[in-house]
Amino acid sequence: MGFVIIRPDDDVWEERPNQEGAIRRIADVTAAGELSQSRARIWRYPPHSRGRRHSEGVQEEVFVVLAGTLTMLLGDPPERHDLPPQSVVTVAPGTGIQMRNESDGEVVVFAYGAPPVTGRAEYLNDVEL
């Protein structure tokens, strides 16, 4: 088949606790959408939660804020950027990245990357900005 449709009520969400135990939810669009040349996920961050600060070794990534205000730390040393819905961020390989929700509401982000590699990220020290 040449296409796959994933509807909002499809059961594609899994819980992913972060290092502090906050439960983020993720929809693995790569698997559900049968992607082979790229990776894609939808992340749901609850209020006051964060992902791990890291740098992708080979993959370039695109982030689209679907709901809420996403805080991203980008670069090394990191710079803080607060991004409203419909913001798009592109990140080159080797760039420090961290997604955070520093608000009182949920943040939803679509993350897309290519090539579809895993296990090549370097984890960086967490910082406060």
pLDDT tens-digit profile of 16-49? 888 888 898 988 999 889 999 999 999 999 999 9
Residue 18's pLDDT is what?
86
Q: Which two tokens stand for residue 53?
A: 């600060």
pLDDT > 70: percent of the chain: 99
**Which of these CATH numbers, 1.10.10.10, 3.40.50.1820, 2.60.120.10, 2.60.40.730, describes 15-115?**
2.60.120.10
Q: Among 14-28, 58-72, 75-89, where is mean pLDDT lowest?
A: 14-28
Distance CA 30, CA 12 (A): 11
What is the residue extent of each domain of the chain? 15-115
Q: Which two tokens stand for residue 87?
A: 């913001």
Q: Among 3-7, 50-54, 87-91, where is mean pLDDT lowest?
A: 3-7
Q: What is each CA distance from 87 to 12, 82, 100, 124, 129, in whole angstroms? A: 24, 10, 15, 24, 20
Residue 78's pLDDT is what?
96
Q: Which two tokens stand for residue 13?
A: 């969400």
The pLDDT-based confidence of 91 (bands split at 50, 70, 90) is very high
Q: What is the pTM of this model?
A: 0.88
Residue 1's pLDDT is what?
61
Average pLDDT value for the chain = 92
Q: Which amino acid is at 122?
A: E
Q: Which residue has the tokens 């961020």?
A: 89
Q: What is the mean pLDDT of residues 99-119?
A: 95
Secondary structure (DSSP) of 31-64: HHTT-SS-EEEEEEEPTTEE---EEESS-EEEEE
